[in-house]
Amino acid sequence: MRLIFGLVHLVKLFVVSLILVGILVTVGGTIMTVLFLQNLAADLPSLSGLVHKPSITTKIYDVNNVVLDELFAEELREKIVPLKEIPKITQMAFIATEDQRFYQHYGIDPKRILGALYADFVAKQAVQGASTITQQLAKNLFLKPEKTISRKLREMILSFRLERTYTKDEILQLYLNEIFFGDRIHGIASASKYYFGKDVKDLTLAESAILAGLPKSPNRFSPFNKRNPQAWKERQRVVLALMEQQGCVSRKEMDEAVKEEIRFATGGPGSTAREAPYFLEYIKRQLLDRFGFKRVFAKGLKVYTTLDLKVQKLAEKHFLGGDVFKNKPVEDFPDFQGAFLAMDPTDGAIKAMIGGRDFKRYKFNRAVQARRQPGSSFKPFVYCAAFASGISPTKVVVDEPYSKYDPGAQRWWSPQNYENRYYGSVTLATALAKSLNTVSVRLCENIGVEKVVAMAQRLGITSPLTPNLTLALGSPDVTLMEMVSAYASFANLGIHVNPRGIVRVEDADGQTIYEEEVVEREVLDEKVAYSMVRAMMGVVDFGTGTRAQVPGYQVAGKTGTNQDHIDAWFLGYMPDLVAGANVGYDDRRSMGNKMTGGRLVAPMVGAFFRDYVKLHPGRKEFKPPSGMAVVAICRDTNLLPGPNCTHVTSQAFPRGKAPTVHCRSHGVETDDGVETDDGGVRADATASGTDGSTEEPSSQDGY
């Protein structure tokens, strides 16, 4: 009996010990589990009061609000769309596909987890996911995409927190604006634009089903998947079937959606080819300097620029499509390059910019970065300094050979006119129109080279200028933007305006955070500026730039060709627009004999001008300042034209200073009454705006 009682006592002790051990294990396990979960959650963010602001794409617009480019780092997100702007059918497509009990569970779906485990067990591999929309959002917002148990547990903890912090509709809105749709596309708004070229509010059932099918495998089910071009259709049918099973749509609606013809946005990946790439890089540099990388690429800025895409297209058509480049394809002549720039002289707005022939090959922007010798297009600064010193454009000078001894080099310097041709007695206005080198050098010497340097800098030239007589022939290296900016001072009658490419910048909420000021200053007396306009009109009317004429419009400008025909330039302007261009080899080798600005570049700029006025008719004439009168004169004598004068132009004079006597020096008119032996053009031909003479028109384009 004692033995029995002993055994019973031992059993009791064993049972009590087991119970105590079980309690200790349970308590210990619970404590360890709590500590483990606390450790997992220790560095998780608190969602209380959280305002989620994902990366949003920055957009750059032209002056007509056309999108030129979108800037983004890793995520291309159009905008954040409120749930009320997303069609209900689109919302149901995602819920039916990704989380059909979304509105019933509290962050995780135990039933779905068990179903997924069973499916994986039967298939002996992972075949079905169990993550809810809330879990996917938690992972996308806060966690790295690693496949570990600890990450999954952290995801569940965050899901509970999200459900406690946000309503279901708020979670769905966050999810639809965050989800990845392939090719760096994030958010329903970007996906709608990228795949269908439309706003979210316009999505159809068929399109919604395609988008809802993408998150499972964006690359595989992409409509732009060339390896399996029908995968998207198969996935669309799956989504529509799920929607029909769950009562989201009827069988008839499902069948109609399957049959619907889908119009995808053209091109897919890489289809958003940037417009005006050199201008965009120019703008991007300014944005990065002012706002920094993160704000520019992730904060959804709206950048409104001065560029007019229609004008840019004209520039590309006539410059890049000009004969000079047609004859030298970029594939065969990659170093034969050029640049084009057009701006409004009244406010500095850049309307068009071309920095080279092929941006994909060469990012170097020749319109703002390349310094080249402008040749004779620098001469207006010499003449302007002379006019500002009180010398009249009608002053008669002698065009004859010139030589000067250079003691430093211990040699004679003898600049020559184009084709070594000299005209004898001419006015300064005519000398500028014909680009006579010897007259320009003598004029520079007479007024002092320091005045020329000061004038060029005042008008907008910022590159270093060496004060010597070679300035008169355009020896310094300058940028195209400097030259266009300086010529704009003439067009704007003495008021210089800094070139600008940005109008304003707004943040993602539409608040203006930066606005580019129009910076202007008076650099010339308007009478001097207008005298320059009239003199430079002669370049286009009867001088070296006749190929830039525009019927019915006053056009002024200047050609330029530097030594050995390395660079060719033309800069021209009308009252509302100034444009300039240059061409040449990057390695500065010669383009060949007679490859001048008047022959190569003036035709391209002229063709651009003639199409431009069809878009923007604007002002046709430069308005003379008060106290000045425009009078027709004989270019040979500076007198009022007689009945047989064939070299007629017009010039501006202070009131009371114009000639009153008629020219009687010409007794015989030429047979056709238009052209004479030296290429002069009579007033009636000038006014007609013809496209220039049949050969290089008085091509005295200096070296």
Catalytic residues: 98, 376
DSSP 3-state percent helix, strand, coil across the chain (nearest 5) = 40, 15, 45
Please state, in angstroms and rounded to a whole number, the distance separating the CA atoms of residues 101 and 339: 61
Residue 466, token pair as written in the block: 């060496």
Residue 500, token pair as written in the block: 């600008």
Please state, in angstroms and rounded to a whole number, the distance separating the CA atoms of residues 222 and 219: 5
Non-local CB neighbours of 515 within 8 Å, separated by 6+ positions: 503, 504, 505
Q: Tell me if residue 349 falls in helix, strand or coil.
A: strand
Host H or E run for residue 484: helix 480-491
Distances (CA, A) of 534 to 55, 288, 433, 531, 555: 54, 42, 10, 5, 9
Residue 551, token pair as written in the block: 């019927």
Phi and psi at residue 676, to the nearest 5° = -110, 180
Report whether 644 contacts 669 (CB < 8 A): yes
Cα 539 vs. chain centroid, distance in angstroms?
32
Non-local CB neighbours of 5 within 8 Å, separated by 6+ positions: none
Report whether 649 contacts 538 (CB < 8 A): yes
**Looking at 473-525, which runs of residues are DSSP E strands?**
495-497, 502-506, 512-515, 520-522
Please state, in angstroms and rounded to a whole number, the distance separating the CA atoms of residues 601 and 595: 9
Non-local CB neighbours of 297 within 8 Å, separated by 6+ positions: 55, 58, 71, 72, 73
Please state, in angstroms and rounded to a whole number, the distance separating the CA atoms of residues 143 and 137: 10
Q: Burial level of 631, CB count in 10 A (0-12/13-18/19+)?
A: middle
Nearest to 162 by CA among 62, 44, 58: 44
Phi and psi at residue 526, to the nearest 5° = -60, -30
Nearest to 133 by CA among 167, 188, 176, 166: 176
Angle subtended at Cα 90 by Cα 158 and Cα 265, rounded to the nearest 5 degrees: 110
Nearest to 583 by CA among 377, 361, 434, 349: 377
Residue 522, token pair as written in the block: 């008076």
Nearest to 382 by CA among 491, 476, 498, 521: 476
Phi and psi at residue 299, to the nearest 5° = -110, 10
CA torsion, points 42, 44, 49, 55, in degrees to nearest 10?
160
Report whether 34 contacts 19 (CB < 8 A): no
What is the chain's Cα-based Rg?
38
Place of tokens 């261009």: 581
Task: Give residue 648's identity as a one-letter amino acid code.
Answer: V
